[in-house]
């Protein structure tokens, strides 16, 4: 379980991360990462979006619990004030725990890396 201070609760926080943050996706998850200015130096916070396309309620809750468990140690590596939204894709329902972890790490690394010029 994430501590209350580490959870995104308001829809405005979710919207800010999705609209203003960097997006990176893998086969099972899409990550929206917004690194905020240090002036609002609160701890890094995370939120999860698991839609009905992932599966029934039991499957969605299982995926959400797995993602929460995977994100908890990774929040410590993010700078203070960071907003992270993890959106589960339908493939996450049948993915193993290791696959979810690998995809989450890859998506976070891609979202944190500087953009390449075209």
4: pLDDT strictly greater than 90: no
Closest CA to 43 of 66, 67, 76: 76
pLDDT above 80 for 116: no
Residues 22-59 have pLDDT tens digits of: 999 999 999 999 987 655 557 889 999 999 999 999 99
Kindly report the pTM of this predicted structure: 0.88
Mean pLDDT estimate for the chain = 89
Instruction: State the pLDDT at residue 100.
Output: 94
């Amino acid at each position: 379980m994430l501590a209350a201070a580490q959870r995104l609760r308001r829809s405005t926080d979710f919207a800010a991360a999705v609209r203003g943050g960097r997006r990176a996706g893998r086969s099972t998850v899409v990550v929206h990462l917004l690194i905020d200015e240090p002036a609002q130096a609160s701890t890094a916070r995370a939120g999860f979006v698991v839609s009905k396309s992932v599966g029934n309620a039991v499957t969605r809750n299982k995926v959400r619990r797995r993602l929460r468990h995977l994100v908890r140690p990774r929040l410590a590596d993010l700078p203070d004030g960071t907003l992270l939204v993890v959106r589960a894709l339908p493939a996450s329902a049948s993915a193993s725990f290791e696959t979810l972890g690998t995809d989450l790490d890859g998506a976070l690394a891609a979202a944190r890396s500087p953009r390449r010029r075209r």
